[in-house]
């Protein structure tokens, strides 16, 4: 194992996949000249040239549309959204083209592309640069959606996404880029659609993903000191969802909590709660608890932003209340 940052892990994934397959290329704003806003593409132009690491104008519609066309022509493009918030600009290309072409053409053409979408709260980035919008895309058939929480899965899921024959949206939390963690030296792939039981427990199942998974680990540490044993499930993929792992955990613990940074209303937590309610409600000893952001745009003012955040303490308090 080696210790590298989340950003370096995604860069290694790009380097390995671009070296392995000459059809892989990346395009987006400021990725060749700047190396990406979070440094996640630094060095790629020198290694692969600007024909495969392409700077574009500020036009998300053209970026995604061009990548869809390239995928239909047999390439394996990676589109960078700069910020996930800007995916709304090219929403038609995502949900009407990228997601549906394989179905509408009877499987004759696949759209083998990855949409990289940095999301989530950073320091005072305000309402248009801080959102967690993954639930929008979970509702669209034809898309796979992955959300890593650590450097190892950042690399393994990006490699899996690039190799997948389906369109994949790869959400990468902006605050995770500097996070350091152990990553295997040898080549590896993290399977799409398979959750990870990060820690076993017996009193309550806590399901999360992305940055909030790290807050959930801290919450579990707080609760462990109080004698509450939390089983932690990192989704890693929200479409498809690994319902089997979730249900097996709930059958064992008899309680379920779900935590995510996104707004609670209409969030991924509601889908997970519904799956468990439909398939394992008789196993529950307490109502399902969801922890998410309040139903408001992300505030700019620091005190309000802090109040908006889902924190380890808020997660621990919610679980404490269901015991």
- Residue keyed to tokens 């860069």: 11
What contacts 26, CB < 8 A, 6 or more positions away?
Answer: 14, 18, 41, 44, 52, 53, 54, 77, 78, 79, 80
Tell me if residue 129 is catalytic: yes
Out of 129, 173, 215, 260, the active site residue is 129
The values of phi and psi at residue 142, to 5°, are 105, -10
CB-based burial, 269-279: b 16+ in 10 Å, e otherwise: bbbbbebbeee
Segments in 26-95 forming alpha helices (H): 44-48, 60-72, 91-92
β 53-55/24-28 pair status: parallel
CA distance 115 to 140: 14
**What string of DSSP letters covers 266-281?**
TSHHHHHHHHHHHHHG
DSSP-assigned letter for residue 246 = H
CA distance 279 to 274: 8
CA distance 146 to 157: 7
CA distance 298 to 161: 29
Beta strand ranges found along 6-135 (DSSP E) = 24-28, 53-55, 76-80, 114-119
Instruction: Show which residues are catalytic.
Output: 129
């Amino acid at each position: 194992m080696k210790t590298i940052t989340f950003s370096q892990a995604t860069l290694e994934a790009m380097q390995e996949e671009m070296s392995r397959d000459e059809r892989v290329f990346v395009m987006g704003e400021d990725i060749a000249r700047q190396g990406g806003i979070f440094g996640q593409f630094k060095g790629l132009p020198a290694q692969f040239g600007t024909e495969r690491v392409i700077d574009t104008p500020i036009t998300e519609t053209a970026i995604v549309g061009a990548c869809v066309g390239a995928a239909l022509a047999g390439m394996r493009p990676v589109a960078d959204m700069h910020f996930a918030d800007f995916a709304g600009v090219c929403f038609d290309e995502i949900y009407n083209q990228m997601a549906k072409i394989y179905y509408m053409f009877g499987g004759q053409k696949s759209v083998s592309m990855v949409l990289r979408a940095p999301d989530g709260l950073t320091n005072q980035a305000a309402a248009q640069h801080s959102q967690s919008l993954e639930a929008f895309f979970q509702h669209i058939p034809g898309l796979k959606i992955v959300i890593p929480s650590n450097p190892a899965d950042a690399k393994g899921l990006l490699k899996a996404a690039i190799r997948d024959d389906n369109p994949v949206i790869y959400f990468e939390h902006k605050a995770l880029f500097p996070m350091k963690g152990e990553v295997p030296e040898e080549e590896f792939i993290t399977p799409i659609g398979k959750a990870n039981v990060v820690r076993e427990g017996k009193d309550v199942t806590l399901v999360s993903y992305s940055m909030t998974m790290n807050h959930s680990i801290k919450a579990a540490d707080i609760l462990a000191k109080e004698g509450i044993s939390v089983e932690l499930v990192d989704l890693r993929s929200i479409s498809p969802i690994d319902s089997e792992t979730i249900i097996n955990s709930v059958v064992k613990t008899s309680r379920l909590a779900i935590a995510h940074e996104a707004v609670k209303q209409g969030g991924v937590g509601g889908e997970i709660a519904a799956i468990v309610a439909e398939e394992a409600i008789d196993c529950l000893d307490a109502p399902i608890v969801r922890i998410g952001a309040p139903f408001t745009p992300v505030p700019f003012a620091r005190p309000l932003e802090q109040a908006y955040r889902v924190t380890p303490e808020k997660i621990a308090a919610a679980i404490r209340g269901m015991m």
